Amino acid sequence: MEPESQDYKGHRIELRPRAGLEAERAEDPDLEDLELQIDEQPVRFRQMPDGSYALEEYAFDWTDDLMDLARRYIDYRSRAQEIRREANSGEEN
C-alpha cells in the first residue's frame, strides 16, 4: 500500500505512514506500516488472511481496497447520524 489521500463528501481520508517509525522505515523501505485517518482522527483497521481489510468500528463490511472501505464507513456514519436525528425529532413530538 502506498500513502494516499482524498476528499469524500466533505471528509478528508488519508492513508499515511505511522509517526515515529522513520528509523525502521530507513532500514526496511518496504515496511507497510500505514495508518488510516478520517478528518485527522485515526481509524483502526485489520487485514484479514485473505488480504481484505476491515475497520474495527465497521467490521461487518470488508474489501481489499482500504480507501473504498473508508468511504463506505463515512456513508455508514452519515446514515447513522441521520437516523438518530430522526429518532430524536420524533421524541419531541
Task: Give the pLDDT score at 31.
Answer: 44
Domain count within the chain: 1
Report the alpha-carbon distance of residue 3 to residue 58 in Å, rounded.
Answer: 22
Q: C-alpha angle 10/70/4, rounded to 5°? A: 80
Task: Give the pLDDT score at 23.
Answer: 47
Residue 46, domain extent: 4-92
Average pLDDT for 67-87: 95
We report the CATH number of the domain holding residue 39 as 3.30.1880.10
In this predicted structure, the answer to whether residue 29 has a pLDDT above a threshold of 90 is no
In this predicted structure, the answer to whether residue 55 has a pLDDT above a threshold of 90 is yes
Q: 54-91: buried (b, 16+ CB within 10 Å) or exposed (e) per residue?
A: bbeebeeebeeebbebbbbbbeeeeeeeeeeeeeeeee
